[in-house]
Amino acid sequence: MQYGMIIDLERCVGCHACTIACKAEWEVPIEFNRNWVYRMGPSLVDQEMASTYYPGLCNHCQEPVCVEECPADTVEMTFTHAKTGETTSMEVAATWKDPFDGTVQIDKSRCIGCGACVDACPYNARYVNPDQIDDVSDDGKADKCTYCKPRVDAGQLPACVQTCITGARIFGDLDDPQSEVSKYVKKGAVGIDVIGGDLGPNSRYYGKKKDMALLMSTQTPELADLGLIRRRAMLASLVKPAMKKARGLGLLGLVGALAVKGLADDNSHE
């Protein structure tokens, strides 16, 4: 099974009902988004005027680079198929690709808030939520679209799909040839992959040729500098415990914490 979502650009009217539903469902801070809708054009594409919308969200990629870049310690987790009850175990960091439904998820209890996955995602689909703090991270936790996994596991549709007033969002199993999403793929729905890469995005788009050309020409991203991201993540894993300890030592500790933070900030500008 591989869950996926189709965005039918011919149906989308840019009403933002999907983004509002998502914010309400997941209490997303006003300055961040789990999904978004951008207006594209009007622009001239191959001597035709193109105008459409870009409803974006996590692509739940076949090869999610965010999973590879998470520096949190791995643990063995047991996963259960929501419908059959089948179980399997595997080693995962704080973010992973679910072995049964193909969605990419985050364990908030183990996320250290370093932002490595946020930097790694070429689609800008992740952010660090400053409202989600605990003893592991006082900077917040990584957050993103989860395809509303708790809702889906309970037999419901993702909030954005349920709320879409024109039926522009279609959700289902891409591995099921009889599903609506698979039928859209056969008609030509495609994901926005990265330049020179093959991440296999499972959120896909369908629309007029000129509108799809506009979307792809303006929204196809490049992969980030993964080497730099790894160095930052490694430093963050070392710096954060030191800063916490320093804060507990009073004024001298505060000076030390600021010095340590300064080193981290310097490194972030490489």
Q: Is residue 233 within 8 Å of residue 268, measured between CB atoms?
A: no
For residues 114 and 137, give the distance between their C-alpha atoms in angstroms, rounded to a whole number. 8
For residues 122 and 103, give the distance between their C-alpha atoms in angstroms, rounded to a whole number. 17
Buried b (16+ CB within 10 A) or exposed e, 212-224: bbbbeeeeeeeeb
Q: Closest Cα partner for 96 from 128, 65, 118?
A: 65
* Alpha helices (runs of H) in the chain, residue ranges in sequence order: 17-26, 65-69, 116-120, 149-153, 159-163, 180-187, 209-219, 226-247, 250-268
Q: Is residue 201 within 8 Å of residue 193, measured between CB atoms?
A: yes
Residues (pLDDT < 70) of the chain are 226-270
pLDDT at 98: 98
Please name the residue that has the structure tokens 């729905």: 189
Q: How far is CA 72 from CA 107, 125, 221, in A?
A: 10, 20, 26
pLDDT at 245: 55
pLDDT at 235: 64
pLDDT at 251: 46
pLDDT at 128: 97
| Cβ contacts of 47 within 8 Å, gap of 6 or more | none
The Cβ-side half-sphere exposure at 14, using a 13 Å CA radius, reads 8
> Would strands 3-8 and 203-206 be described as parallel, antiparallel, or unpaired?
parallel
The string of pLDDT tens digits covering residues 192-241 is 999 988 999 999 999 999 999 999 999 999 987 766 666 666 666 665 55
Q: How far is CA 176 from CA 3, 5, 60, 148, in A?
A: 10, 13, 17, 20
User: Quick one: CA dihedral 167, 168, 171, 174, positive or negative?
Assistant: positive
The string of pLDDT tens digits covering residues 164-188 is 999 999 999 999 999 999 999 999 9
Q: How far is CA 207 from CA 40, 49, 108, 126, 244, in A?
A: 13, 14, 36, 26, 51
For residues 223 and 204, give the distance between their C-alpha atoms in angstroms, rounded to a whole number. 19
